[in-house]
Amino acid sequence: MEFQILWFILWGVLWAVYFMLDGFDLGIGMLESFLGRNDAEKRVIINTIGPVWGGNEVWLITAAGATFAAFPTTYALMFSYLYSVLLLILFALIFRGVALEFRGKVDSETWKRGGDIAIFLGSLIPAMLFGVAFANIFQGLPMDAGGYHGTLLSLLNPYGLLTGVLFVLLFILHGALWLTSKTDGEISKRASIVADKSWYLLLIIAVLFLIYTASTTNLYANFLQSYIWLIVPVLAVVSLIGIRFFAARGQYLKAFYSSCLTIVMVIFSAVIGLYPNLVPSRTDPDYSLTIFNSSSSIYTLKIMTVVAVIFMPIVVAYQIWTYRVFRNRLSINDVLKDKESY
């Protein structure tokens, strides 16, 4: 197999795993202020992601780093073209991280309220803007011989905003399912209600997204050319229905796994639809950034492959292991008696 294709697959996997993992952190961040009725409850909610959110966020760093190393031209142009969006995502992630770490460190109403706002916005903004950014990539960026012609406002077009809402709902549902299976009592019950209701909302938005995608992007072309790949979006739909299926039976952990699969399959579908582009051009196809015209040299890709083959399995192994260490449900008592918790 060509190394560019291998790295394209890995690129898709890194983004998919990032959204699968940090997706529920972002969901938790958006839900914390609304599902926690008092400080103790809020602490329980953010402590469910306490040990793992940092490791989850590294998938983003790695996705960006892999883009840089494997497709430097795409990294350079994508990151500079999406300057303002990435800047807002950066600020939001900074606030989220700092607020999660520092919220519990000062016993003051104002401090904690500030922390809650930062956690909420620091989760909502990245969820929304990642959707906007990817939607614009699906549509193709306005780039040609004259360079880049977009602005922050042109990125916030209806399709971009719709995809942003889609991401927000995906992550709220994902976070609510996580919370339902990681807590007990009232919080778990409230989270399950959010999961149930947000599913229907997500379904409506997803249908709109699929229709809009057909009219404004070229993502379907690859699937129409070889039907075999349709298995991926079909799995996305099946697992989306699976969420409801399991949730209706009260099996929220299975519903959560189903939601993981949904997110991964959604990202995979998009990546297959993009192939061989990483960032298509809307104005002049000759200026599309493909995996072939924007990749590193084969030598560099080989080195990177060796590194990935050796280290990624190790990373996956110890991350799964830490999830197992912290697999139990959290109650208010656990959090109140643990001095190291958030």
Partner 1 sequence: MDIVRLSRLQFAVTASFHFIFVPLTLGLSILVAYMETRYLRTGDEMYRRMTRFWGRLFLINFALGVVTGITMEFQFGMNWAEFSRYVGDIFGTPLAIEATVAFFLESTFIGLWVFGWNRVSKRLHAASIWLVAIATNLSALWILLANGWMQRPVGYVLRNNRVEMADFMAMLTNTYGWLKFFHTVFSGYVLAAFFVMSVSAYHLLKKNNPQFFKASFRMAAAFGLISSLLVFIVGDFHAAEVAKTQPTKFAAMESVWDTQKAATYYLLIIPDPGNERNAVETIGIPRLLSLLAFHNGDAEVKGLKEFPKKDRPPVIATFLSFRTMIALGMLFILLTLMAYIISRKDRLESSTAFLRIMLYALPLPYLATQLGWIVAEVGRQPWIVYGLLRTSDAVSKSITPLQVMVSLIGFTLVYGLLVIMYIYLLSRFAKMGPDDELQAIIKPSGI
> Which residues sit at the interface with partner 1, rule CB under 8 A?
50-55, 57-58, 60-62, 64-66, 68-70, 72-73, 75-81, 83-84, 86-87, 90-91, 93-95, 97-98, 101-102, 104-108, 110-111, 147-148, 296-297, 299-300, 303-304, 307-308, 311-312, 315, 318-319, 322, 325-326, 338-341
Angstrom CA distances, 301 to 76, 138, 156, 310, stand at 17, 25, 34, 14
Give Cα 78 to chain centroid, integer Å. Answer: 18
**In terms of DSSP bridges, do strands 277-279 and 289-290 run parallel, antiparallel, or are they unpaired?**
antiparallel
Task: State which residue, 219 or 330, has the beta carbon closest to partner 1.
Answer: 330
Token pair listed for 334 = 């656990």
Task: State which residue, 2 or 338, has the beta carbon closest to partner 1.
Answer: 338
Measured from the CB of residue 22, what is the shortest distance to partner 1 in angstroms? 12
CA distance 49 to 176: 12
Task: State which residue, 34 or 83, has the beta carbon closest to partner 1.
Answer: 83
Task: State which residue, 26 or 77, has the beta carbon closest to partner 1.
Answer: 77
Task: State which residue, 65 or 222, has the beta carbon closest to partner 1.
Answer: 65
Task: State which residue, 54 or 185, has the beta carbon closest to partner 1.
Answer: 54
Type of residue numbered 31: L
Query: Which residues make Cβ contacts (< 8 Å) with residue 16, sequence separation at least 6?
Result: 263, 264, 267, 268, 271
Measured from the CB of residue 326, what is the shortest distance to partner 1 in angstroms? 7
Q: Which of 340, 338, 339, 333 is nearest to 40 (CA)?
A: 333
Token pair listed for 132 = 């906007």
Query: Which residues make Cβ contacts (< 8 Å) with residue 303, sequence separation at least 6?
Result: none
CA distance 31 to 256: 16
Measured from the CB of residue 232, what is the shortest distance to partner 1 in angstroms? 26
Query: Which residues make Cβ contacts (< 8 Å) with residue 211, sequence separation at least 6?
Result: none
CA distance 33 to 103: 13
Measured from the CB of residue 222, what is the shortest distance to partner 1 in angstroms? 27
Measured from the CB of residue 147, what is the shortest distance to partner 1 in angstroms? 6
**SS3 label, residue 242:** helix
What is the enclosing helix (H) or strand (E) of 32? Answer: helix 3-35
Task: State which residue, 300 or 331, has the beta carbon closest to partner 1.
Answer: 300
Measured from the CB of residue 78, what is the shortest distance to partner 1 in angstroms? 7
Token pair listed for 111 = 């401090």
Measured from the CB of residue 111, what is the shortest distance to partner 1 in angstroms? 7
Distance between start and end Cα atoms, the chain: 47
CA distance 47 to 181: 13
Measured from the CB of residue 295, what is the shortest distance to partner 1 in angstroms? 9
CA distance 116 to 233: 36
Task: State which residue, 78 or 187, has the beta carbon closest to partner 1.
Answer: 78
Task: State which residue, 186 or 338, has the beta carbon closest to partner 1.
Answer: 338
Phi and psi at 314, nearest 5°, equal -65, -45
Measured from the CB of residue 271, what is the shortest distance to partner 1 in angstroms? 19
